[in-house]
Structure 1
């Protein structure tokens, strides 16, 4: 995607509620900062996804050691990547090994959330303007963690809401659950 297409993706997204309207406006402002994906910036884009298995109405969560929480999959763009969906798909594949992931039920954004990231030994605290999608797999049993400390768990939506400590992820889970409920 080009920056213009990224601008279109954000322009086409309808924010739900005051928190997302604020986060979406903040994300749109990143388009004027040069490389909005560059991880050295105090606020930069990331792309992520909730992975669902529609037949069983389950969602896959990953243990994030740094955040000490069960979260969805996703992360930073690699150099030269600018398409948020491509970033989310690559990150999801790397973190789960699932090779059959597809945007579900469509390729649009599901949620835009600006989230704080604590400092680490190699980088200061910063914010991610996270562009979130829903991806589906037909082979949930094929999920494999990328490393032992990054466990994966298939959960019902109520179990997933209980497992995470992040309110913004609970919002994303609610949106994905509503999409599942709206499909046969």
Structure 2
């Protein structure tokens, strides 16, 4: 019998996304020791089944976020989170329509930046676990990706952000969310490694 943390979650709608998350993280080479520990803990969380992709899962759930670089690779786009009042990378919860974690990350980035034509590297650059209060105490197991914006991109602030801003990656604003700064190096490596693919 399911416990109270999973009973109301729409697990069936997340089956494909759950399978993608397991395959992606199983085959991923972590970019740091911290990311390796978070990856292993996230794979353990995914043992709960597709419900672990939903915010209804009280012990924690998988989210997706991105570090957006401009077309030149010289600036990154961050948002001033409306509730946290800290500058963070773009991203958030998975939704039933997301087919892959990269799709979820790209959808969130597009919604929060207002920029069409973003392209994403489907290989994660980091995994981070941090406490949150989504409908009560929980944790985000955040899988993070690198994204490039098109030339002459114009951002638009969403309802979830107090502000958006472009910053040199070596001079990020304060106050900054924990874990955001460590995305710069692996994101730069992703941009050098291969062309980023457009949205499906």
Shorter-normalised TM-score: what interval? 0.7 to 0.9
Structure holding more helix per residue: 1
Q: How many residues align?
A: 178
Change (3 A) 1:4 1:149: closer
Give the gaps of 5 or more residues in structure 2: 1-15, 195-200
Partner of 1:113: 128
Residues 51-80 of structure 1: CA distance to partner in whole angstroms, max 9, x if unpaired? 111415110000102222000111111234
Partner of 1:81: 98
Contact 1:3/1:82 (<8 A) preserved: no
Mapped partners of 2:75, 2:176: distance in 1: 18
Change (3 A) 1:82 1:116: farther
TM-score when normalising by structure 1 = 0.85
RMSD across aligned C-alpha pairs, in angstroms?
2.4
| 1:98 maps to 2:109 | no
Give the gaps of 5 or more residues in structure 1: none
> What SS does the corresponding residue of 1:21 show, helix, strand or coil?
helix
> What SS does the corresponding residue of 1:159 show, helix, strand or coil?
coil
Match of 2:145 among 130, 133, 136: 133
Change (3 A) 1:141 1:80: closer
Partner of 2:52: 36
Deviation at 1:110, TM superposition (A): 0.9
Residues 138-181 of structure 1: CA distance to partner in whole angstroms, max 9, x if unpaired? 14541111138531000100222x43533311111232234456
Partner of 2:5: none
Mapped partners of 1:38, 1:147: distance in 2: 21
